[in-house]
Amino acid sequence: MERFLAVTDKDESYGKRLCGFISERKSVPFLPVSFTSAKAYLEFAKTHNVVLHIFDGETLEEFFKEYERKLEDEGTEGLEASDDIYGDYDAAGVEKLREELINERTVFLYKSKLLESSTEESLTEFASQGIYKYRSADEILRKAMDIYSRSTGRLKYVDNFAKTRIVGVYSPVSRCKKTTFALLLSEGYGRKGKALYINLEEFSGFSAFSGTRESEDLSDVLYYLKENSLDFPKLKSLVRRLKSFDYIPPVRYPDDTVNTEGRDYASLVESIADVSDYEFIVIDMQGFSGGASELMEICDDIYMPVMDDAVSREKLDAFDRYMEESKRDRIAEKIKRIKLPEAEGTLSSDLFDRLIYSSVGDYVREMIS
């Protein structure tokens, strides 16, 4: 399900400009959408997953004044009979209205000291979530993301997230050299800057490349994230090195992540980008419905290794139909399909060394050069 960041401001051009700025920031994993009234926002929020709301203070005040005037003129029965959004809220439902419009995921825009001087109890409670309306768009976005971070328990949003390139590798096709490609991509990026590889497969076979079996792995990182105790020193203690890039050892026991959802993995990647100095994060994905779809939303690029046989083509056609029917255009636009050359893969202690200088290694180096 797509997640939305709403901007509600009676000044239509302001709302559209702010949404335009946000849409250009690939590090923001939400789709921005603007409204000129609280009524329009509430109608949209009925059927869409709005996770963050930037709300103009004057527009908010005007909405409640109109609501109170309508309640006074028409009474509770008139309000309930209304065919617009007011019909969903009688006098007893005013608290529900306030909760939907004034909550821990709302950022208030103000032209003066509106929020700080407000005597309205519910608004004063969230006064710290206000920001001067005519600050830079970057400052407003930072405020919004910090508020989102606090409300979800995620680590604090910082500039580095925008500087980290997040690259996903996924394919509905089996035996397409997906992991080989993802590792070689990490190696290539590691020669250009600081790179981290994360494998999300249940049975990764990763020790064939690393030659080691670790006692700590991805499940430990996820545990620290859920406990809101993941920081850079703790992350570095769990990270290992292979050639020119870092990696988090994949899970050894799939049962350890049975309660981990796609959004948890996305939060993990976002948090690592927040607290670390990695320039590239490569995610080796598995299972579209098992987490890959949420991760794809935060990726800058998605590489999809494909094959030409009949079964593989049918799988790709089924994937394309699903993407079209589920209206995941934003994800589909990021996907780059690649057909990799053959490479020798005989298991031995120097397997990864041989792959680096194989035809697939040459292909990856040329691709990112």
CA distances from residue 259 to 255, 271, 319, 322, 359 in whole angstroms, order as listed: 8, 19, 25, 25, 39
Q: How far is CA 69 from the centre of its chain?
A: 40
Q: What is the pTM of this model?
A: 0.59
Domains 3-152 and 160-368 share a fold: yes
Segment 187-219, tens digit of pLDDT: 999 999 999 999 998 888 787 777 777 778 898
pLDDT of residue 19: 95
The tokens describing 102, both together, are 């004034």
Better-predicted residue by pLDDT, 161 or 334: 334
In 3-state terms, what secondary structure has residue 149? helix
pLDDT of residue 273: 83
Q: Which residue has the tokens 């035809």?
A: 359
Bridge partners (DSSP) of residue 338 are 305
pLDDT of residue 336: 95
Work out whether the CA dihedral 139, 28, 115, 71 comes out positive or negative: positive
Q: What is the CA radius of gyration of the chain?
A: 24
List the beta strands (DSSP E) in the chain. Answer: 3-8, 31-35, 49-56, 106-110, 130-132, 165-169, 195-199, 240-242, 245-248, 280-284, 301-305, 335-338
**% of residues, the chain, pLDDT over 90:** 30
Segment 57-115, tens digit of pLDDT: 889 888 888 877 877 777 666 555 555 555 555 555 566 777 788 888 899 998 754 44
- Indicate the fold that domain 3-152 takes in CATH: Rossmann fold (3.40.50)
Instruction: Tell me the one-letter amino acid at 336.
Output: K
Query: E strand or H helix at 21, and its extent?
Result: helix 12-24
Better-predicted residue by pLDDT, 182 or 369: 182
Q: Where are the domains of the chain?
A: 3-152, 160-368
Among 104-113, 176-185, 259-268, name the most confident range. Answer: 176-185
Is it true that domain 160-368 has CATH number 3.40.50.300?
A: yes
pLDDT of residue 49: 87
Q: How far is CA 31 from the centre of its chain?
A: 10
Q: Of 16-20, 37-41, 50-54, 150-154, which gets the smallest average pLDDT?
A: 150-154
The tokens describing 346, both together, are 């005989």
Give CA–CA dist 162/176, Å, rounded.
Answer: 31
Better-predicted residue by pLDDT, 359 or 288: 359
Contact, 156 vs 149, CB < 8 A?
yes
Q: What is the mean pLDDT of the chain?
A: 81
Q: Which residue has the tokens 């100095």?
A: 277
pLDDT of residue 214: 77
CA distances from residue 235 to 171, 225, 283, 286 in whole angstroms, order as listed: 28, 10, 16, 23
pLDDT of residue 159: 45
Q: Measure the N-to-C terminal CA separation of the chain; round to a whole number of Å.
A: 35
**% of residues, the chain, pLDDT over 70:** 83
Segment 32-59, tens digit of pLDDT: 999 999 989 998 998 898 999 999 988 9
Give CA–CA dist 5/147, Å, rounded.
Answer: 12
